[in-house]
Structures are given as C-alpha cells and as structure tokens.
Amino acid sequence: MSHTPPQAAGGPLAGLRVMEIASMAPAPFACTLLADLGAEVLRFDRASDVDPETNHSTDPLARGRRSIALDLKHPEGAALVRRLAGHADVLLDKIGLHAQDTAELFFDSVRVPAANLLGTEGRGFVHLMERLPRERMSIAVWAQCVTETALEQTLEYCTGRAAFGKPVADFQHSRFLLAELTTQADVTRVYVDRAIEALKDGTLTAVDAAKAKWWATELQTKTVDRCLQLHGDYGYMAEYPIGRAYLDARIQTIYSGTTEIMKEISGRSLATSGKAGR
C-alpha cells in the first residue's frame, strides 16, 4: 500500500473528509472540486494507477487528494475501506445518477448571522412545503423527457436491429408494446403540459402536482424497463444509454415524495371533498 501526504488544508471546506473509491466514484469532477475548496479527499486507486516512484496517482483529476493504492478484493483492503469509512463525512456511492454528486453534510454549532437568514425564522419546513409542488413538477417534466427519449432510442434500435431474419420492430409483440408505451407517453404529456401552464399561472395545486409526479415517474420506470427489454442483452451494457437510464430512473419514484405519499395526498383530497359534499 502506498500513499501521498495531503496538501495543506485551506479553503471554505477545510476539515471536511471525503472518501472516493476510484472504481465506484460517480463524479470525479465533484471530488476534485471538493478538494480544491479545501476538503481532504481520500482516494482509493488500483495499484496500477499509482506511480511507483512518486507514489502519486496518475489520474490528472487527483490534485489535492491523498491517494491510497490497494486491492479492494483483498480482505485487508476491504477492512481498511470499512474502517476509514467510519471517519469520513461523505461517501459518494449511488447506483444511478452518476453525473451528479450527492453528499451528506453535518453542521454542528453553526451560527447564521441575522443578515443571512432566508425566509422567516422557525418556518423553514413551511417554506420547504410551499415549494414542493414546483419541485415535483420539475421531476415530472424530467420523467416525461426521459420517457420520450427512451422511446425514440428504442424505436431506432428496433428498426435497425435484426433478429431471426427481420427487424425487431417487425415482430407483433414489439409493435404492440411500443404502441402501448407511446400512447401512454402522449397522454401523460398532455397532463404534464396542463400542469405546467397551471404552475406558470400560479394555480397549480399540491394535489395536481402530486398526480403529475407519481404518474410520470412510474411511467418512466415502466417505459425504461420495457425499452431495455427490447434492447436485449445490449440494454444491460453501460455503453448503451438505455442501460444508464434504467439505473437513473429508479430514484424518480422515491425522492421529493414517494409514489405512495403522492397517492396519499391525492386520495386524502378525494376523501375530504367527498365529506364536504355530503
């Protein structure tokens, strides 16, 4: 095992400890940025990625980071990672959305000057809830865009890929499935567009935003899953966009309110309006 000493601490993130495992790190640029801002980034490399003469990582993005070369498959290497992880503030490791970094930050005994206060003191959660419909609409739009893109890519793939002597798109199952998915995408697009207009006019309700969010994201996960199936084993390869879209889609029905919570919001409003009508 070899390592290089960390650079001198400094910057607004001095004291922050970040772990980056080279074979799993989703966002190397993010780790570089954190290091440049003063964080101590502990990078795990394969031994072949470290210059034996200088013990420095050969990765051009490794500036400002300590580099440790070890075999993660070896029991001692795995044990070291687990031990160091207990002392790290941030561990970047997601199954999808590798193009964006996710960090867990802790602020202990931090004082915020009155001049830097956002909103009303003590009403942070209320302000957050007030903006949730807008956030959920942004996710619904994202889901719709991914759904339509996945269908376009899959249609192109199925018309160009031959199986048993004819294009995949010529099989009845493929045509029926694509017809079903495109119909659902077209119908969802109308609802999402209407919700966007309501958001623009300031009339979008929390219930309508919840409906758009859960329906569009559930359709996204279903569409991407079926499109990957039509790609066959190629769809399981990370080099194909549909494979990456499959991993990225899974979080869509979870963050900013799970599908179950979205249905609860919608269902509760129906129960309330039903009682009011009696």
Catalytic positions: 135
Token pair 């942004």: residue: 138
Residue type, 161: R
Among candidate residues 30, 49, 42, the one with its CA nearest the CA of residue 81: 42
User: Please, which residues have CB within 8 angstroms of residue 262's CB and are 6 or more apart in sequence?
Assistant: 136, 210, 211, 213, 214
Written as six digits, the tokens of 41 are: 């980034």
Q: Could you give the residue ranges of the DSSP H alpha helices within the chain?
A: 28-36, 75-85, 124-160, 172-201, 206-231, 241-249, 259-277
Written as six digits, the tokens of 114 are: 């009155």
Q: Are 80 and 70 in contact (CB under 8 A)?
A: yes
Edge-first strand listing for the sheet containing 65-69: 2-3, 65-69, 40-45, 17-21, 90-91
Q: What angle do CA 188, 193, 198 make, to 5 degrees?
A: 125
- Strand 40-45 versus strand 17-21 pairing type: parallel
